[in-house]
Amino acid sequence: MSRVQGSFQEKARARVEVSGLRSWVARELENLVLSFAMIREGEIAIPKSSELSTYLEEAVLSWMEPEKVVAQELMFWQVALHIHTYILKDDVQTDDACGDDEVAGFSMWTLPSKNFRGIWESLILEQDIKNDLVRYCLAALVFSKMDVNTNLVSCNRLILLHGPPGTGKTSLCKAMSQKLSIQLQDEYAHALLFEVHTQGLFSKFFSESAKLVGKTFSRIQSCAADQTTLVFVLIDEVESLTSSREAALSGSEPSDAVRVVNAVLTQVDALRRFPNVFMMTTSNITGAIDTAFVDRADIKQFIGPPSKLARRSILSGALAELARAQIIDDFFPEKGTKELDRLAEATNGFSGRLLRKLPFLTFSKFASAYDKRPIPSIQFLSEMAGVAETERTVRGELASVEQKLRDSRGC
Ligand SMILES: Nc1ncnc2c1ncn2[C@@H]1O[C@H](COP(=O)(O)OP(=O)(O)OP(=O)(O)O)[C@@H](O)[C@H]1O
Ligand SMILES: [Mg+2]
């Protein structure tokens, strides 16, 4: 790792993450970045003529203490670079213990993974949630490394992200584990992410379910036993476990569901004893989460639908990508400012997932007449406003049907 010394009063520390040949890349990249007059956050543009472009897959710069950096860009002499080089891995394993017709118990990624490339940068969330969560994870891992007694200072290394569907909770967990695996590579030689598939834990042979939980978690524990491996465990849509337990307790489902959830909770408690394990859970119905899970979480972070500014940024990023692919003509956010503002306003309440889908839905309107010539971006934007309106109406209708169903069931 290469460091440029300097106290923070004089320099803003920035982290550069680089994938490629290690020390040569780090040195060359540092020279390149410091040759720019101004330095800003985001992907670093490597000139095609530079030898670096042969070896680099990606190079991304982020401020290490963003709250202290007031300007969007700084002069090169104001920045102290900390460069992390890493190789992106392509390794994914899925638990094959289940039968063909059943969902696997878990997937396991070696980090940093090619599959999670760019997710961190693509997520646009409020009030620096991303960096706050990363800081929390770093702090929790320091506590466990320094062997702080958790009976005296409670820290479970477990977070819960909750909020409406499609707001980026699962993506954030994956991006966060990727980010931390890069930042902590001097402390942990390896890093893994296990995604536990809650649906996969319910075997159609009921008595098998608790055994499946045991099998899934014993694999995680065997990896965690090596303290040089940083292990992230993502239990996605945790409400599907807990709602089953509630249903079971009220007598409408077999008691096996109770055993599965209890088995998961026991395993979660067992994993908490490993100082190199960090657990992340997500849910989109907070009300339905078992208090057993809620109480274990150190941080319960609400992830809501994007703000107007975030919506504008998601939409303009998506349009820039269509321009890059030459589906629409050159798109500069300044060019369609009014239209883009109007669209950002009109999509109030839309999730990030729906916003990212809008450009595709819009293009499908043009598809039959598409003659491989880029569509004028202003025309595309105005069509997109129509598509957004239709989506809003359809969503409204669906919500009212759901409400009627709930009313008829007396809920
Ligand atoms: N705030 C956001 N900024 C950018 N992209 C977003 C945002 N929120 C969601 N997305 C995009 O929407 C897609 C769905 O996100 P993801 O699956 O992580 O949501 P989720 O909250 O886990 O949804 P669910 O509750 O249905 O599981 C991803 O492609 C993600 O990049
Ligand atoms: Mg999700």
Q: Are residues 185 and 297 in the same domain?
A: yes
Q: Is residue 15 part of a domain?
A: yes
Helix (H) or strand (E) holding 294: helix 291-296
Q: Are residues 317 and 297 in the same domain?
A: no
Q: Are residues 211 and 132 in the same domain?
A: yes
pLDDT at 309: 92
pLDDT at 57: 81
pLDDT at 249: 60
Give the whole-number percent of the chain exceeding pLDDT 70. 87
pLDDT at 97: 52
Ligand 1: which residues within 6 Å by Cβ? 122-125, 165-171, 282, 284, 306, 310, 314, 352-353, 356
Q: Are residues 120 and 263 in the same domain?
A: yes
Looking at residue 18, the DSSP 8-state letter turns out to be: E
Give backbone dihedrals phi and psi of 41, rounded to 5 degrees, phi first.
-70, 150
What is the spatial distance between Cα 228 and Cα 145, in angstroms, rounded to a whole number? 11
What is the spatial distance between Cα 229 and Cα 185, in angstroms, rounded to a whole number? 10
Q: Do residues 384 and 341 make contact, with C-beta atoms less than 8 angstroms apart? A: no
Nearest to 263 by CA among 207, 210, 195: 210
- pLDDT one-digit tens code per residue, 320-341: 999 999 999 987 766 668 889 9
Residue written as tokens 């820290």? 155
Q: Do residues 37 and 75 make contact, with C-beta atoms less than 8 angstroms apart? A: yes
pLDDT at 4: 37
Q: Do residues 263 and 211 make contact, with C-beta atoms less than 8 angstroms apart? A: no
Most confident range, picked from 65-79, 238-252, 280-294: 65-79
Q: Are residues 198 and 288 in the same domain?
A: yes
What atom of ligand 1 comes closest to residue 124's alpha carbon?
A: 3
Rounded to 5°, angle at Cα 130 from 126 and 131? 115
Q: Is residue 388 part of a domain?
A: yes
Q: Are residues 99 and 72 in the same domain?
A: no
Q: Are residues 250 and 333 in the same domain?
A: no
CA of 169 from ligand 1 middle (Å) equals 6
Pocket-testing residue among 160, 171, 281, 285, ligand 1, by greatest number of atoms within 8 A of Cβ: 171
Q: Are residues 151 and 266 in the same domain?
A: yes
Domain count, the chain: 3
- pLDDT one-digit tens code per residue, 80-94: 888 888 889 998 888
Rounded to 5°, angle at Cα 134 from 128 and 135? 90
Choose the final residue of a domain: 28, 55, 86. Answer: 86
Q: Is residue 395 part of a domain?
A: yes
- pLDDT one-digit tens code per residue, 138-193: 999 888 888 888 778 888 899 999 999 999 999 999 999 999 999 998 899 999 99
Q: Are residues 226 and 273 in the same domain?
A: yes
CATH number of residue 44's parent domain = 3.10.330
- pLDDT one-digit tens code per residue, 333-383: 666 688 899 999 999 999 999 999 999 999 999 988 888 899 998 899 999
Pocket-testing residue among 319, 356, 357, ligand 1, by greatest number of atoms within 8 A of Cβ: 356
Q: Is residue 343 part of a domain?
A: yes
Q: Do residues 160 and 297 make contact, with C-beta atoms less than 8 angstroms apart? A: yes
Choose the final residue of a domain: 302, 326, 360. Answer: 302
What atom of ligand 1 comes closest to residue 125's alpha carbon?
A: 1
Q: Are residues 163 and 264 in the same domain?
A: yes
Burial of 407 (0-12, 13-18, 19+ CB in 10 A): exposed
CA of 170 from ligand 2 middle (Å) equals 4
Q: For the chain, state the CA radius of gyration.
A: 24
Mean confidence (pLDDT) of the chain = 84
Choose the final residue of a domain: 56, 86, 116. Answer: 86
What is the spatial distance between Cα 388 and Cα 400, in angstroms, rounded to a whole number? 18
| Residue 340 belongs to domain spanning | 308-401
Q: Are residues 102 and 64 in the same domain?
A: no
